[in-house]
Amino acid sequence: MERVFLSSPHMSGNEQKYIQEAFDLNWIAPLGNNVDGFEKELSEYNSINHAAVVSSGTAAIHLALKLLDVQPEDTVFCSSLTFVATVNPVLYEGATPVFIDSEPDTWNMSPVAIEHALVDAKRDGNLPKAVIVVNLYGQSAKMDEIITVCNRYNVPVIEDAAESLGSEYKGQKSGTFGQFGIYSFNGNKIITTSGGGALVSNDEESIQKARFLATQARDPAVHYQHSEVGYNYRMSNIVAGIGRGQLEVLDERVNQRRSVFNNYYEAFKDIQGIEFQPELKDTRSNRWLTALTINPEKAGITRNDIIHALDEQNIEARPVWKPMHLQPLFEGCKYYSHHNNESISDQLFENGLCLPSGSNMSEETQDKIIKLILDLLPTD
């Protein structure tokens, strides 16, 4: 059978209209009506003042770090349970990441661990230039607690909402809590531009500066003049057209992903040893991926048993992200666990599983996945 992916692109059918507009106007470069329109519509959707659309979510994080003047001698505190793209831009600037554990209520950055890290940093006279908070699999972190503790130490927050576009925390859109927020429109995200991202902020001057840096930092002169290092990070007008068509159906996609999650939940909720990623009170996750943990002693099967069984049927399932503090790339970096001798992100990685969650996945396919998993369970 055709491969079932964790999260495949799901077109609205309206993208071609915006792409054709770009061709009709001959605006194919990283400028034009779709770029302007996508930035405006993205800002309006998220109730934030300004957005700059760029080539990737990674580029958006890099620009945020540049705007915060991160230097080689600086540290940046980062969620450990994330994809490496959250942290790589810290290395681009020669800075040093310090990793913060998750907490069990959201699987995201622990307010307890971040406070411990900031207390130590203050004592050592080396407060971080920024804190990058990730909203894992669509679920917002405990932003009130995290913003409060970071404000106490005057450390700016970058909210990595690459996986949580369309999610809400206490009625406010994900990605709008920190000094900067970032989104990703990679091919597997809840909406896609094939590849792309956005940097958002209420600070107009910063977003204007981000656009300048993302367009090779060209000075305002008739000739080509450059006074600082720039980047080729701007989104093309074609790609932005795809984004505009996708953004029109974002709320529908959130509802579809939540429906997929609910189907899995109803099928497995009474099985001992299976626990789903929680949804914090007063939040609404876009449920980008359905994520759960398998306790092998209670369930009688392992996470890997499920991955292998699904793979034999050409169905993709994966472990949750391997924490950054366990990656060879970051060997020797500091790590602050949720509690002494208890690392939540290690536990989640050991037993965590992501199931196919695409908004275009048929009920028949999801029923097949559920049956395959149920058939693996002991019958005793």
The CATH number of whichever domain residue 358 belongs to comes to 3.90.1150.10
The residue-averaged pLDDT of 172-194 equals: 97
Q: pLDDT at residue 341 above 90? A: no
Residue that finishes a domain, picked among 249, 270, 296: 249
3 domain residue, yes or no: no
With pLDDT > 70 as the criterion, what percentage of the chain qualifies? Answer: 100
Q: 274 and 203 in one domain?
A: no
Q: Do residues 238 and 259 both lie within one domain? A: no
CB contact set of 80 (below 8 Å; sequence gap of 6+): 99, 100, 101, 102, 323, 324, 325, 335, 345
Q: Is 42 a residue whose pLDDT tops 70?
A: yes
Say yes or no: 124 and 175 in one domain. yes
As a whole number, mean pLDDT of residues 130-145 equals 98
* Lowest-pLDDT range of 28-37, 107-116, 157-166, 314-323: 28-37
- 21 falls in which pLDDT band (50, 70, 90)? very high
State how far the Cα of 17 lies from the Cα of 15, in Å rounded to an integer.
5
Among candidate residues 228, 249, 270, the one where a domain is terminated: 249
Residue 205's H or E segment, with its range, is helix 204-214
Give the residue numbers spanning the domain of 319: 251-376
Say if residue 244 is in the same domain as residue 258: no
Q: Is residue 8 part of a domain?
A: no
- pLDDT attached to residue 30: 81
- 234 part of a folded domain: yes
Q: How many CB atoms lie within 10 A of CB 121?
A: 18
Tell me the CA distances in angstroms from 249 to 50, 160, 165, 268, one per residue in order: 21, 22, 12, 29
Residue ending a domain, choose from 249, 269, 297? 249
pLDDT reading at 221 higher than 90: no
pLDDT band with cut points at 50, 70 and 90 for residue 380 = low
- Let me know whether 318 and 267 are in one domain: yes
In angstroms, rounded to a whole number, what is the distance separating the alpha carbons of residues 49 and 112?
A: 31
Q: Looking at the structure, do residues 228 and 262 belong to the same domain, yes or no?
A: no
**Mean pLDDT of the 334-358 span:** 96
Is the model's pLDDT at 312 over the cut of 90? yes
What pLDDT is stored for residue 1 in this prediction? Answer: 73
Band of residue 141 on the pLDDT scale cut at 50, 70, 90 = very high
In a domain, 21, yes or no: yes
Q: Do both 171 and 90 map to the same domain?
A: yes
> Is the residue at 1 inside a domain?
no
Confidence of residue 165 (pLDDT cuts 50, 70, 90): very high
Residues 225 and 255 in one domain: no
Domain count within the chain? 2
Note whether residue 9 is domain-resident. no
Q: What is the mean pLDDT of residues 249-267?
A: 98
On whether both 236 and 263 belong to a single domain, the answer is no
Task: Indicate the DSSP class of residue 236.
Answer: P
Domain shared by 245 and 259, yes or no: no
pLDDT above 90 (res 117): yes
In this prediction, residues 95-117 reach a mean pLDDT of 98
Please give the full DSSP string across 43-95, using - where no structure is assigned: HHHHT-SEEEEES-HHHHHHHHHHHTT--TT-EEEEESSS-GGGTHHHHHTT-
Q: Is residue 5 part of a domain?
A: no
Whether residue 291 sits in one domain with residue 189? no
Q: What is the pLDDT of residues 298-311, one digit of tens each?
A: 999 999 999 999 99
Predicted confidence at residue 93, as pLDDT, reads 98
**What pLDDT sits at residue 140?**
98
pLDDT, position 276: 98
Within-domain flag for 118: yes
Chain-centre distance of CA 205, in angstroms? 25
The CATH number assigned to the domain holding 211 equals 3.40.640.10
Q: Which pLDDT value is given to residue 340? A: 86
Q: Decide: 136 and 129 in contact? Cβ < 8 Å.
A: no
Distance CA 280, CA 302 (A): 26
The conformational region for residue 375 under phi > 0 = left, psi -120 to 50 = alpha, else beta, is alpha
- Checking if the pLDDT of 44 tops 80, the result is yes
**Which of the pair, 222 or 189, is modelled with greater confidence?**
189
Examine the domain organization and report whether 191 and 334 are in the same domain: no
Computed over every residue of the chain, the mean pLDDT equals 97
| Confidence check: pLDDT of 102 > 70 | yes
Mean pLDDT, residues 37-47 taken together: 98
The HSE-up count of residue 329 (CA atoms within 13 Å, CB side) is 16
CA–CA dist 318, 356 (Å, integer): 9
Cα–Cα distance between 77 and 100 in angstroms, integer? Answer: 7
